[in-house]
A and B are shown apart, each in its own frame.
Chain A
Amino acid sequence: SQTIHQWPATLVQPVGSPLSLECTVEGTSNPNLYWYRQAAGRGLQLLFYSVGIGQISSEVPQNLSASRPQDRQFILSSKKLLLSDSGFYLCAWSGLAANTGELFFGEGSRLTVL
């Protein structure tokens, strides 16, 4: 069966420090991968998605970047964090063949920028 892992689960970082959140998927190949941010426990904003290695689409201009160095690895990064980067970050995957299909989410990474 497929599983998705995110780490770290929680992170407290000072303003101006770098960030790296990692997401890996097991049990499937060539998934679509997504990074969402959830602010204040409400709506989800799509940040990035990837349909293959090295292929990243950005949905909103921001202080963050994403990379996909391997088929089942998706990384969210920042060189210098802002206070506004605080939030709950969710990684998700979907199968390419099932373009009607649902997304499967990881357990999230909570980032607090102080």
Chain B
Amino acid sequence: AQSVAQPEDQVNVAEGNPLTVKCTYSVSGNPYLFWYVQYPNRGLQFLLKYITGDNLVKGSYGFEAEFNKSQTSFHLKKPSALVSDSALYFCAVKAGNTGKLIFGQGTTLQVKP
């Protein structure tokens, strides 16, 4: 069965520093991987996805993610964090042919000025 794991409940970084939010996955076949962001009391916003091709995927708001097949990872990255990036981040994997996504437990990103 497909699954994703986000090993960190919270990540703290200083504004201007690079950030990484970790995600590992377990799938049979080729993985379709996604990152979402959620601000308090809001719905989830799509950031980026990996389907095939270049292992470095660029997304919204300056975020990017690196797909690593050998390590079964799909870490979210940003070269320079902003205070406004503070939010809850979810990694997800596509499950089956109906388009449904399986989400990780989420990682809270706290960017301090």
Q: Which chain A residues have a beta carbon within 8 Å of chain B's beta carbons?
A: 6, 32, 34, 36, 41-44, 46, 49, 51, 57, 88, 90, 92, 94, 96, 99-108, 110
- Size category, B interface: 20 to 34
Residues of B within 8 A of A36 (CB): 103
User: In the complex where A32-B98, A100-B94 touch, is A43 in contact with B41 (Cβ < 8 A)?
Assistant: no
B108 CB, min distance to chain A CBs, angstroms: 9
List residues 91-113 of chain B with CB under 8 A from any CB of chain A: 94, 97-106
Residues of B within 8 A of A6 (CB): 43
Picked from B32, B43, B103, the residue with its CB within 8 Å of the CB of A100 is: B32
List residues 43-66 of chain B with CB under 8 A from any CB of chain A: 43-46, 49, 51
A-B CB contact pairs (8 Å), 11 listed: A32-B99, A41-B88, A44-B44, A46-B101, A49-B100, A92-B44, A94-B99, A100-B94, A103-B46, A107-B43, A108-B41
Picked from A41, A46, A96, A108, the residue with its CB within 8 Å of the CB of B43 is: A108
Contact assessment for B98 and A49 in the assembled complex, using a CB-CB cutoff below 8 Å = yes
Residues of A within 8 A of B105 (CB): 42-43
Q: Which chain B residues have a beta carbon within 8 Å of chain A's beta carbons?
A: 32, 34, 36, 41-46, 49, 51, 88, 90, 94, 97-106
Give bound CA distance, A6 to B90, whole Å. 21
Give bound CA distance, A41 to B44, whole Å. 12
Give bound CA distance, A43 to B106, whole Å. 6
A67 CB, min distance to chain B CBs, angstroms: 17
Contact assessment for B32 and A110 in the assembled complex, using a CB-CB cutoff below 8 Å = no
Give bound CA distance, A103 to B105, whole Å. 17
A3 CB, min distance to chain B CBs, angstroms: 12
Contact assessment for B49 and A102 in the assembled complex, using a CB-CB cutoff below 8 Å = yes
Picked from A46, A100, A105, the residue with its CB within 8 Å of the CB of B100 is: A46
With A46-B100, A101-B99, A103-B46 already in contact, 15 other A-B pairs whose C-beta atoms are closer than 8 Å: A32-B99, A36-B103, A43-B104, A49-B98, A88-B41, A92-B44, A96-B99, A100-B32, A100-B49, A102-B46, A103-B99, A105-B43, A106-B43, A108-B41, A108-B43
